[in-house]
Amino acid sequence: MQKSNILVIEPDEARADNIVWALIFLGYYPQLWNPSLVADSATQDWRAVYVGSLDDRDACRGILESLEQHSKQLLLLVAADSPQATWLTADGSAYSERLELLEFPLRYERLADAMRGLHARLSGGIPGPQRLVGSSQAMARVNALIQQVAPFDSSVLVLGESGTGKEMVARGIHDCSPRRDKPFVAINCGAIPAELLESELFGHEKGSFTGAISARKGRFEMAEGGTLFLDEIGDMSLPMQVKLLRVLQERMYERVGGNRTLRSNVRIIAATHRNLERAIVEGRFREDLYYRLSVFPLEMPSLRQHLEDLPELITEFNQRLLRRGLGGARFSGGAMQALRQYGWPGNVRELSNLVERMAILYPQSEVRASDLPEKYRGAHAGEEVAGGSLLAMLDEHPPTLAGAMLETDMLLPEGGVDLKDHLADIEVGLIRQALDNTDGVVAHAAKLLRMQRTTLVEKLRKYGLQSGAAAH
């Protein structure tokens, strides 16, 4: 069984009950203190200690000191009216920087706040192998939160659009937690039909329903001792939400068709792309389950909010391709500019798919803006000079100068370049822009490109660009 990680020192029975159940509700594993426990505790690494109505200051100090011999960075929750609160919080006290005060009667929100405060004080969990790539502030924050929340058993709710890395966060938390040698089990609650979800989660006994040919373990059992990732929790049916809440609160369940009660010790991480607060208002999500899950909410930024990470992410995906024995994709300056202006509704997953697709289509050459699938191109097809429209420059400078700029701006790729194709790319890009700028009126576009209208018509036909031209 998982060792408890919060020690509750509270001689007042009613209060002890109150704080223990509140902590359990939040997903922690508290243990009530008794004198024999202190002897045992010599070998235990406590994360936090709750100090309640203890009268004897020396005894309190003695307990804390003995615990500290084996617990690094002991954090304290202290009842604000505890006789010990004054010296613990006093300036110069060894504990004053790492405690949270709790007022009674205890309010759920305050306790959750206090726990977040303690998490934030942890200087870091066990360093995990998988960090989310990106050095933007947004990603640094996510990585820091993963480290803070990992060491405790509290539930985490990961929110964010699809493809933003929610599952990666869940794995990161597990890998940095003391449970990392136990299973990480994921289940997509949205993808499994409501009538099957119960048996998927809790397992079933043989013959419990048509098709249950043999007994089967559920995900809770498979994840025992480890972490259960409930993906798309916002899609779970209301009856199933009730059953889940019961397991989370009582830590007990039965397999479908079974009467043996199983104990469960799993850390829950849930995720959804839905707005659960709205779902609660609309009666589609239970508020109590929401509170139980969202002890530690973690909001993922959309890719639009950390576009500065594009180059690092592309490098990461190229490395993943290399590990699979495939070559990577190289993007030109113009292509990067187009990607920076794209909306990325599918977020990092969409970027990963694009990199793979481009790596397959352009194994040897650089991917230019005009090579990108149409929706990514924006107005950047053929535009290989950073900033400003090439066409505008063409208008202002003699064509030879523009040509020279193009040449100097482009680095010859390692594997060389197919010059004819490359020039055709530039030509197509500039023709597209000319048509865009003239609402597709070929005669006007031809003027911008300093060529005969008939020559342009010829090129439009050659490159299959007629659809971009108006019928003039």
Ligand X SMILES: Nc1ncnc2c1ncn2[C@@H]1O[C@H](COP(=O)(O)OP(=O)(O)O)[C@@H](O)[C@H]1O
- Name the site residues for ligand X (rule: CB under 6 A): 132-134, 139, 160, 162-168, 313, 316, 348-349, 352
What does 348 interact with, of ligand X, Mg ion, none (CB < 5 to 8 A by kind)?
A: ligand X
- Tell whether residue 350 is a contact of Mg ion (CB under 5 A): no
What does 352 interact with, of Mg ion, ligand X, none (CB < 5 to 8 A by kind)?
A: ligand X
Residue 171 beta carbon to Mg ion: minimum distance, rounded to whole angstroms: 11
Residue 125 beta carbon to ligand X: minimum distance, rounded to whole angstroms: 18
Closest CB to ligand X among 15 and 166? 166
Residue 170 beta carbon to ligand X: minimum distance, rounded to whole angstroms: 8
104-123 residues near Mg ion, rule: CB under 5 A = none
Instruction: Give the ranges where 374-452 is alpha helix by DSSP (H).
Output: 374-377, 390-396, 399-409, 419-437, 442-448
Q: Which of 44, 110, 34 is nearest to 77 (CA)?
A: 110
What does 102 interact with, of Mg ion, ligand X, none (CB < 5 to 8 A by kind)?
A: none
Farthest-apart Cα atoms in the chain, separation: 99
Collapsing DSSP to helix, strand or coil, 408 comes out as helix
Residue 320 beta carbon to ligand X: minimum distance, rounded to whole angstroms: 8
Closest CB to ligand X among 154 and 352? 352
Closest CB to ligand X among 190 and 225? 190
List 256's β-bridge partners, or say none: 204
Rounded CA separation 6/436 (Å): 65
Rounded CA separation 12/52 (Å): 8
Closest CB to ligand X among 18 and 162? 162
Q: Give me the DSSP letters along 182-238.
A: S-EEEEETTTS-HHHHHHHHHEE-TTSSTT--S-EE-HHHHTTTSEEEEETGGGS-H
Q: Is 430 within 8 Å of 394 (Cβ atoms)?
A: yes
Closest CB to ligand X among 133 and 223? 133
Residue 316 beta carbon to ligand X: minimum distance, rounded to whole angstroms: 5
Closest CB to ligand X among 168 and 189? 168
Token pair listed for 398: 């003699």
Residue with the CB atom nearest Mg ion in the bound state: 167
Candidate list 12, 167, 288, 312; residue touching Mg ion; CB under 5 A: 167
Collapsing DSSP to helix, strand or coil, 84 comes out as coil
Closest CB to ligand X among 164 and 241? 164
Rounded CA separation 213/206 (Å): 6
Per-residue buried b or exposed e for 140-176, using 16+ beta carbons within 10 Å of the residue's own CB: eebbebbbbbbbbbbbbbbbbbebbbbbbbbbbbbbb
CB neighbour class for 193 (10 Å; exposed up to 12, middle 13-18, buried from 19): exposed
Relative to beta strand 296-299, strand 156-159 is parallel
Closest CB to ligand X among 354 and 428? 354
What does 164 interact with, of ligand X, Mg ion, none (CB < 5 to 8 A by kind)?
A: ligand X
What does 235 interact with, of Mg ion, ligand X, none (CB < 5 to 8 A by kind)?
A: none
Closest CB to ligand X among 217 and 357? 357
Residue 231 beta carbon to ligand X: minimum distance, rounded to whole angstroms: 7
What does 174 interact with, of ligand X, Mg ion, none (CB < 5 to 8 A by kind)?
A: none
Rounded CA separation 230/218 (Å): 13
Task: Give the binding-site size for Mg ion (rule: CB under 5 A).
Answer: 1
Residue 134 beta carbon to Mg ion: minimum distance, rounded to whole angstroms: 18
Residue with the CB atom nearest ligand X in the bound state: 165
Distances (CA, A) of 354 to 27, 143, 281, 437: 39, 25, 38, 28
419-438 residues near Mg ion, rule: CB under 5 A = none
Collapsing DSSP to helix, strand or coil, 50 comes out as strand
Residue 192 beta carbon to Mg ion: minimum distance, rounded to whole angstroms: 14
What does 132 interact with, of ligand X, Mg ion, none (CB < 5 to 8 A by kind)?
A: ligand X
What does 316 interact with, of ligand X, Mg ion, none (CB < 5 to 8 A by kind)?
A: ligand X
Q: Which of 77, 124, 65 is nearest to 101 (CA)?
A: 77
What is the contact surface with Mg ion in residues (CB under 5 A)? 167
